[in-house]
Structure formats: structure tokens, C-alpha cells
């Protein structure tokens, strides 16, 4: 059984293809959101939660100042239910922001731990 070594031109061609591939991968965009998208969630949650609370309070105020049921129902629907939906949506936005921050912190901690272990490994090799 004989093995043949690839000649130099084949290796140069493979290196050139690899370099082209690496250059193309660098310019690719990903769908993963960065810190700027997480900040959008924080701002959106900060707007939706107070707006939802305000709608709930306005709906309660409108329904509390009338004794007729047919006049109270529109206040409950427009103020109460819409306000509750906005409040829940804002809370979900806050939760999504918090979870993305946890993911970023976990990745950062893992990278720091990996770097520390590599330094320890390198120091042990030198001994």
C-alpha cells in the first residue's frame, strides 16, 4: 500500500480556497440579535408596560363613573383588556431582554473560564 503526498500546487490551491471561504464567511450576516436588538426589547418593554397600566386605569376610571352596564362594557374591553394585553406584551419584552443578557453573560463567563484554563494548561506544560 503506497501513499502519495499531495504536491505543492494542490496544497496552495486548498489554502487559497480556504482563505476565500474564510473571507466570505466573515461578511455573512446572521439572524442572531446583538446587544442593539436586545436594547430594542428593553425600550419596547419600557414603553408598553406603562402604556398598558395607563389604559387599565383609564378603563377602570371610565367604568367606575357610570352605573349602566352597557356603558361599562366598552371601557372594560378597550381599556382593561387592551391594557392587559399591552402590559403582558411589555413584560414578555422585558423577559426576552433579561434572557438575552443572561445568554451574553454566560458566553462571556465561559470564554473567560476557557482562557483561564488555557493559561493554567500552558503554565503546567512549562514546568
Domain range summary for the chain, segments of one domain joined by +: 33-126
- Residue 19's pLDDT is what? 85
What residues contact residue 126 under an 8 Å CB cut-off, 6+ apart? none
State how far the Cα of 87 lies from the Cα of 89, in Å rounded to an integer: 5
- DSSP symbol at 109: H
Which residues of the chain are modeled with pLDDT < 70? 1-11, 29-35
Mention every residue, 6+ apart, whose C-beta is less than 8 A from residue 47. 90
* Length of the chain (residues): 127
Only one residue has cell 476565500, namely: 20
Place of cell 376610571: 61
Amino acid at each position: 500500500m503506497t501513499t502519495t503526498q499531495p504536491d505543492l500546487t494542490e496544497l496552495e490551491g486548498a489554502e487559497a480556497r480556504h482563505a476565500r471561504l474564510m473571507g466570505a464567511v466573515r461578511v455573512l450576516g446572521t439572524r442572531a440579535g446583538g446587544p442593539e436588538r436586545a436594547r430594542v426589547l428593553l425600550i419596547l418593554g419600557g414603553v408598553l408596560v406603562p402604556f398598558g397600566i395607563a389604559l387599565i386605569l383609564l378603563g377602570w376610571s371610565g367604568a367606575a363613573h357610570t352605573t349602566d352596564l352597557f356603558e361599562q362594557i366598552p371601557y372594560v374591553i378597550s381599556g382593561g383588556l387592551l391594557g392587559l394585553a399591552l402590559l403582558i406584551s411589555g413584560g414578555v419584552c422585558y423577559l426576552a431582554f433579561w434572557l438575552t443578557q443572561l445568554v451574553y453573560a454566560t458566553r462571556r463567563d465561559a470564554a473567560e473560564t476557557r482562557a483561564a484554563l488555557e493559561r493554567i494548561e500552558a503554565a503546567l506544560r512549562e514546568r
